[in-house]
A and B are shown apart, each in its own frame.
Chain A
Amino acid sequence: MKKNIRKIPLIIFGIYFIIPIIGTFLYSTSTKWDNSILPKDFTLKWFLELFKDTAFIQAVARSFVLGLVTSMVILIIMIPTLILVRLYFPKVDRILQSIVLLPYAIPGVILVTALLGTYSMLSIPMFIVLVGALFITLLPITYLGINNQLKLINIGEMIDAASTLGASMVQIVTKIIIPNIRLGTTLVFLMVFSASFGEYMLTNLLIGGRFETIRIYMMRRMNENGHLASAVMILYFVFLLIVAIFVFIINNKQKKRYIEKSKIEEVNKQKLYGRKEDLENVFNS
């Protein structure tokens, strides 16, 4: 009985969560929907129209490029840096821990103000500024994602062991670091990519209509044709759903690996202590 009472909030939350999505879906598959519970017809014409719209295709392509460039820059810079910090600069790590939380405290609109004030007069392309801004706002995800990963595989011990055995730096990177952080890096990539793919405020305020990404396209369409706009949103939601499923799967894989590893360690420990006890018994007798 008590268990069921505990489920009620979840059900309410579930309904609250799902209704807007169902609503958007029904809106995107009907020609007209005003005063009935369900729309009177079902059509896919908005989706077809969408795929014929070059502005839409271009917007997806732009978002894709933005997501890819941003996530590549972030991964290429942050992975080596965080490995370095973890190995040699524990003090820097403590400073980083509080700095990476800054984007939570400093909302995007402040960052935009600061960046526009600094770069709008310079001839640096705003796209670079946008990637930089995304780099900053995505720091918490990146830092936590990569760091959890490094903690999990205990990178320090691995590198120590490898260099004691005479592995070169290139070997360490290609044979040890890369295979070990592949899963976690994919995870961070997915999260960073989907976040910058669907970014609105920074893109809109820094570059604006000259660089129409998917959300800016949504916003424009929303005021022109609601049905078409909701078709975009449904496609976007499907994209998010796919990313979420991948994240879920990779997360589980990673956890399983970790559990297996800790089991092996546990067994080893027991063996070790077992022997120690045996020895102690021998000595005591």
Chain B
Amino acid sequence: MKKKIGLLPLIIIMMAFLIIPLIIMVIKSFKLDGIEVFSLDNYKEFFANKYYYESFINSMIIGLFSAVLGFIGAYIISYSLLGLSFRTQEKIITISNLAGNFAGIPLAFSFIILLGNAGVLKMIIPLLKNFNLYSWWGLSLTYMYFQIPLGILFLYPSMREIKKEWKESADILGASNFYYWRKVVFPFLKPTMVSTFIILLANGIGTYETAYALTGSNINLLTIRISALVAGDVFAKPNMGSALATIFGAFMVIIMWLSQRYNRKEENLEKEY
């Protein structure tokens, strides 16, 4: 009993700053702004107002785009890393994490210097003249700067577990490279790959700082829309913001849950064999 009291501080903090606020947020999302009456109108508004559902779709597109590119990038980099000496690998991982920390305002600003409307690289390289930093490609290029390191952070430790002996055995048994990858490497990495992709997706959709510093409020993204609704001075509609955040959160939780169930199913199948 005495020992259980020791867990109280953590439980209190989780309750005060995560669980209870989330519950209150969900409740508020069912209330109208101003008059605080229960209703479903905030949710109806989401589907009726182009401004709102478009922000969701836009964020999905950029989230998916940057997650796919970031995932491929992280896989290729991790694979290339494994060919180097152990010490070099460690150093590059440190640098990669450093790149991840540079995300946000500094990252957005340096890309504006280089590739913005009067960007230096645009002046030097004519090929880039028509490149629009504030487009999907531009945003994705910027997002990759932190998506790839984040992907490496999760993928690389698992990829390091792949033993050289597996490849050797596969070679001896006459398996082709692709067959080896499909039958040995892929099943081994699949759970990590799924969860890494989900984390990248969540991160891509949830990015606020970089997007805000890069485009201001010009691109209609979910995070920027929510923050304007809950913290804006002029157009504050906290309950509508809560509804958007609840939809976003529910979407993320469902995806997480599906991916975990999928991974667990695979595990069970393996056990049966």
Contacts and interface: CB of A to CB of B under 8 A. Distances in A.
Interface string A127-143: 00100110110000000
B73 interface: yes
B46 interface: no
Given A20-B107, A109-B223, A110-B245, A230 B6 contact: no
B24 A117 contact: yes
Contacts, number: 209
B92 interface: yes
A114 interface: yes
Given A13-B77, A81-B9, A200-B105, A34 B113 contact: no
A210 interface: no
Interface in B36-77: 73, 76-77
Contact of A205 (B99, B110, B230): B230
A283 interface: no
Contacts of A99: 14
Nearest to B95: A17
B14 to A, nearest CB: 7
A205 B245 CA distance: 15
Nearest to A88: B3
A39 to B, nearest CB: 9
Contacts of A119: 21
Given A16-B145, A23-B113, A84 B7 contact: yes
B6 A80 contact: yes
Given A80-B6, A117-B25, A218 B20 contact: no
A105 B6 contact: no
B209 A200 contact: yes
Contact of A133 (B17, B101, B222, B242): B17
Interface in B213-260: 213, 222-223, 226-227, 230-231, 238, 241-242, 245, 248-249, 252-253, 256
Nearest to B245: A113
Given A33-B120, A104-B199, A194 B101 contact: yes
B78 to A, nearest CB: 10
B6 A107 contact: no
A135 B110 contact: no
Contacts of A104: 199, 202-203
Interface residues of B, number: 76
Interface stretch (A1-9, A158-166, A258-266, A271-279): A1-9
Given A3-B83, A23-B120, A135-B13, A219 B105 contact: yes
B242 A13 contact: no
Instruction: Report, nearest first, the 4 A-B pairs whose CB atoms are least far apart.
Output: A107-B206, A114-B21, A132-B17, A20-B110
25 contacts: A7-B84, A9-B79, A33-B120, A34-B120, A35-B123, A84-B7, A92-B7, A102-B18, A105-B202, A107-B205, A107-B223, A107-B252, A109-B227, A110-B248, A111-B18, A113-B241, A114-B245, A215-B209, A218-B105, A219-B213, A226-B113, A230-B113, A233-B105, A240-B102, A244-B101
Given A230-B109, A237-B106, 5 more contacts: A21-B102, A106-B22, A110-B25, A112-B231, A200-B209
Interface of A: 3, 6-10, 13, 16-17, 19-21, 23-24, 27, 33-37, 77-78, 80-81, 84-85, 88-89, 92, 99, 102, 104-120, 129, 132-133, 135-136, 194-195, 198, 200-201, 205, 208, 215, 218-219, 222, 226, 229-230, 233, 236-237, 240-241, 244, 247-248, 251-252
